[in-house]
Amino acid sequence: MARLTHLPQYKAQEKSGSTENIPLGLYIYPILQSADILMYKASEVPVGEDQLQHIQLSQHLARLFNNRYGKTFPIPQPLVDESSARIKSLRQPDKKMSKSDSNIRNRIEITDPPDVMLKRIKEAITDMTSAVTYDPEQRPGVSNLILMHSLCTGNSCENICNEHQHLDTGQYKLVVAEAVIEYFRPIQAEFQRLISEPTHIIQIFEKGAEKASEIAQQTMKEVKKLVGLSHLVHV
């Protein structure tokens, strides 16, 4: 259990003050996450960099079980999109962009309408230098915008800087906003289509739940047999 106190969620709570009133759910969340991963025998898990320690816990638990009862679970490997993981907060470019940030001006939501996306990017913090140059260490704000532009267009940061060297950062923000809006346009259209068909969404959920239940039951049956609880196979 001591290992859980070294994981990100607990450490974040610890930094914020007292650890006396930390909810049990927060404390054991990494165990529940590991159970979800191992139950379905996931071999790869898409995560953010802040979740890597949780995947390491899942790997540890898988190895413990495999060593004692025989190879049962694959060792899950993290899938981290390193480029998107580097996207920073719009108004605090020294921090990562996060959906849980209490300040909505720090991030762009996938479902934000175009005018909101434009507003957020226009308000993004840059610096006193007007040139469009990529230097994450010295110019994190404008470099963050260039990275977003690159991810949305597939163009390299170097090419983007060369192509927009005639613009100041204020003008460049409009270019970035246009690229971001166009990137999310088909995604938003599909989102709107799906929410207009609630019955279809429910059917997808039900089908997925049925498939997940079948896999979970098979895994539990296998595990109970291995640990000597086969008489509880139907529980």
Give 149-191 pLDDT, tens digit per residue: 999 999 999 999 999 999 999 999 999 999 999 999 999 999 9
Any catalytic annotation for residue 15?
yes
Question: Where is pLDDT greater, at 164 or 2?
Answer: 164
* Residues 65-74: contacts with CB under 8 Å, at least 24 apart: 65/38, 69/226, 69/227, 70/226, 72/222, 72/223, 72/226, 73/38, 73/41, 74/41, 74/42, 74/43
Options 11, 15, 71, 211, the catalytic residue: 15
Q: What percent of the chain has pLDDT over 70?
A: 87
Q: How confident is the model at residue 235 (pLDDT cuts 50, 70, 90)?
A: very low
pTM across the whole model: 0.76
Options 88, 95, 99, 119, the catalytic residue: 99
Mean pLDDT rounded to a whole number for the chain: 90
Any catalytic annotation for residue 99?
yes
Mean pLDDT value across residues 203-231? 94
Mapping DSSP onto H, E and C, the string for 119-139 reads HHHHCCCCCCCCCCCCCCCCC
- Asked whether residue 108 carries a pLDDT value surpassing 90, the answer given is yes
Q: pLDDT tens across 66-91, in order?
A: 999 999 999 999 998 877 778 999 99
- Can you give the pLDDT at residue 10? 60
Options 96, 122, 211, 224, the catalytic residue: 96
